[in-house]
Amino acid sequence: MNTLPFPHAASPTPEAAERGRKLFAGPVDFVKGVVSMEGLPPADRLEVCFAGRSNVGKSSLINALTGRKALARTSNTPGRTQEINYFDVGGHFYLVDLPGYGFAEAPVAVVAKWQALLKSYLAGRATLRRAFVLIDMRHGVKKVDEEIMTLLNRAAVTFQVVLTKSDKISLEAQEKTLAQVRAALARHPAAYPELLVTSSEKGEGIADLRAIIALME
C-alpha cells in the first residue's frame, strides 16, 4: 500500500482510459484568445485550465494531450503566451491555456497586465472544475508557484500538480524533486491529493491525464 502523501495518480481503468482516448480523438478546436475578463466565452460548460511558469512545457503538454502537433503554440522564448487561450473539446468542455507566470521576455507593464488577468480568472471563473499546475521536474516548486497555489487556496479552486519533462532527469533526481513537491503541497489545502508525472516527448502520463479529464464530466 502506498502511504506517501500525494502519491502518483492511480492508473485509470481500461474503461476510463478508453473514455479519455475517445474524448481527445474527437474534435478539439481553438475558440479564442482572451485579454480581459469581459472577453471570456459564456460559462455554459465545465472547464479545466493549465497553469505554470513560463517555459514549463504547457503548450507541449496540451499538444500531446490532444494529439495535435500545433494546437497550442510553443516557443523557446519564456512568456510568449500573453492571452488566456480557450479550446473547445468536442462541445463537452473547455480546455484553457493560461499565460505563463514568472519570468517573461516582455515589457514590465505587459507582464503585469496579463498576470493580473490570470489571477482574476483563477479567482472568478465559476465553471472551472480543476486547475492543473505544471511543475518542471528538473526544478520543483518555486516561489512563484507557491504564489499561484496560495491564490487557488483562497479561491477554493482544486488544483492538481502535473510534473513535466520527466524524461530530462534521472529516476533518482525525480525522487528528490517529488519529495520537495510533496513537502510544498502539504501547505496548500486546495491541492488534489495525487501527483501526475508526464513527458510530452515520451508520452508518459498522457493517457492518464486524458482519463482524469474525461471522468470530470
Does the pLDDT value for residue 76 go beyond 70? no
78 vs 58, more confident: 58
Domain assignment of residue 64, given as a range: 14-214
Average pLDDT over residues 136-156: 91
Average pLDDT over residues 85-97: 93
175 vs 104, more confident: 175
Residue 33 dihedral angles phi and psi, to the nearest 5°: -105, 130
In a domain, 37, yes or no: yes
pLDDT at 78: 46
- Which CATH number goes with the domain that contains 120? 3.40.50.300
pLDDT at 199: 96
pLDDT at 175: 95
CB neighbours of residue 10 within 10 Å = 11
In a domain, 5, yes or no: no
Number of domains observed in the structure of the chain: 1
Confidence of residue 102 (pLDDT cuts 50, 70, 90): low
CA neighbours closer than 13 Å in the CB half-sphere of residue 145: 26
DSSP string for 173-200: HHHHHHHHHHHHHTT-TTB-S-BEE-BT
In a domain, 9, yes or no: no
In a domain, 8, yes or no: no
Cβ–Cβ under 8 Å, residues 137 and 181: no
Does the pLDDT value for residue 71 go beyond 90? no
